[in-house]
Amino acid sequence: MAVQKLDTSEIDIIDRELWERVIAFHGHVCPGVTIGYRASLYAIKLLGLRFSEDEEVVCIAENDACGVDAIQVILGCSAGKGNLLFHMRGKSAYSFYERAGGRSVRLVLKPGPSGMSKQEALKYYHEIPDEEMFSAGPVKIALPEPARLFDSYVCEECGELTGANWIRIVNGRKLCLDCAGEYDRFKV
């Protein structure tokens, strides 16, 4: 399935160079990546954030859609560093935390006009003021602790190295979650 080519040449983009970096990472222009782009810029404005070299900035995204890619590029939040976490609720909502100062904000996308084409949505999301695009309020989830490093063990069934927090002891054997199987007393 081909992605519909959307044109940003006539759209007022806040920081064209940063936008181009986001698109290079994401792979295509779309309204969804625009939402994450704008959420990141708004979070920077509200909290004074900078690109996170480690875990100085944390984002909890309530979706795993296109906008998350913009957050990775602009704020340096990533699953690998442990400062991009997912609380899957299917909402265009993002909680941003600044560790050093303890500041945070939850940005929730407000409903836009219905029936827009992708091109119209793209223009709308680039040009609407931050306060009209997002509800900014307190976070609902406390700031998570920094990522931990865990010991690893070899699963005694499949032989694969597995982080300690993902090992289960079954009949005295250390097993990964795949080999341990599910435990549900009510499952028949």
Q: How many domains does the chain have?
A: 2
Alpha-carbon gap, residue 42 to 44, rounded angstroms: 5
- Kindly state whether residue 107 falls inside one of the protein's structural domains: yes
> Which pLDDT belongs to residue 139?
98
Is 120's pLDDT higher than 60?
yes
> d(Cα 181, Cα 132) in Å, to the nearest integer?
48
Q: Clarify whether residues 122 and 181 are in a common domain.
A: no
Let me know whether 157 and 125 are in one domain. no
Same domain, 88 and 178: no
Q: Is residue 2 part of a domain?
A: no
Question: Is 51 in contact with 72 (CB distance < 8 Å)?
Answer: no
Query: Do 129 and 162 share a structural domain?
Result: no
On the 0-12 / 13-18 / 19+ scale of CB atoms within 10 A, 70 is buried
Cα–Cα dist 110/133, whole Å: 6
Amino acid at 135: S
Whether residues 20 and 110 fall in one domain: yes
Name the residue range of residue 157's domain.
149-188
Q: What is the CATH number of the domain that holds 187?
A: 3.30.60
What is the reported pLDDT for 6? 87
Percentage of the chain beyond pLDDT 70 is 96
Banded model confidence at residue 132, pLDDT cuts 50, 70, 90: very high
Residue 10 domain-assigned?
no
Flag whether 125 is in a domain: yes
184 & 131 share domain? no
pLDDT, one tens digit per residue, over 159-172 is 999 999 999 999 99
126 and 91 within one domain: yes
Same domain, 85 and 172: no
Does the structure show a pLDDT above 90 at 38? yes
Range in 1-5, 31-35, 54-58, 113-117 the model is least confident about: 1-5
In this prediction, residue 27 carries a pLDDT of 96
Query: Do 55 and 122 belong to one domain?
Result: yes
Q: With 80 as the cut, is the pLDDT of residue 4 above it?
A: no
Residues 6+ apart with CB under 8 A from 76: 51, 52, 53, 57, 83
Contact criterion met (CB below 8 Å) for 91 and 62: yes
Indicate whether 106 belongs to any domain: yes
Per DSSP, helices labelled H in the chain are: 16-26, 31-47, 67-75, 118-127, 130-133, 177-180
Rounded Cα distance, 17 and 23, in Å: 10
Q: How confident is the model at residue 182 (pLDDT cuts 50, 70, 90)?
A: confident
Q: Are 175 and 157 in contact (CB under 8 A)?
A: yes
User: For the whole model, what pTM was predicted?
Assistant: 0.86
Reading the block at residue 25, the tokens are 């990472």
96: in domain: yes
Residue 143: inside a domain: no
